[in-house]
Amino acid sequence: QVQLQESGPGLVKPSETLSLTCTVSGYSITTYYWSWVRQPPGKGLEWIGYIYYTGSTTYNPSLKSRTTISVDTSENQFSLKLRSVTAADTAVYYCARLSQTGTQDSWGRGTLVTVSS
């Protein structure tokens, strides 16, 4: 059974870079796509982007200029970097497994990242 776990700092200063890692267990990262989704407090879900194990990425156009997603197949992990953050980037960040038909069938528990000085 696949499990995903997000990790990274819970507090990031404005203008700095948010960095998170998702560790996948129980399933090889070399199949499926792997996705990041965020949810600001009290608001809806926003898709950030996804990656294939080959390194091929697709990003939400609204976040593309600030986002980099990478993969480490040796560690069965994938990572998110979001640059030049502001308070509007404060959210719970989720990682998820994404199928070729667009189904996100397994999700991590999420991690709250607060942007504040």
Partner 1 sequence: SYDLTQPPSVSVSPGQTASITCSGDKLGDKNVCWYQQEPGQSPVLVIFQDNKRPSGIPERFSASNSGNTATLTISGTQATDEADYYCQAWDSRIVVFGGGTKLTVL
Burial 25-63 (b: 16+ CB within 10 A, else e): eeeebeebbbbbbbeeeeeeeebbbbbbbeeebebeeeb
The answer to whether residue 50 forms part of the interface with partner 1 (CB under 8 A) is yes
Q: Which of 47, 53, 66, 83 binds partner 1 (CB under 8 A)?
A: 47
Residue 101 and residue 41: Cα distance in Å, rounded?
A: 29
Nearer to partner 1, 11 or 45 (CB): 45
Q: How far is the CB of 115 from partner 1 (least distance, A)?
A: 21
User: Going residue by residue from 76 to 105, which x/- string records binding to partner 1, judged by CB under 8 A?
Assistant: ------------------x---xx-xxxxx
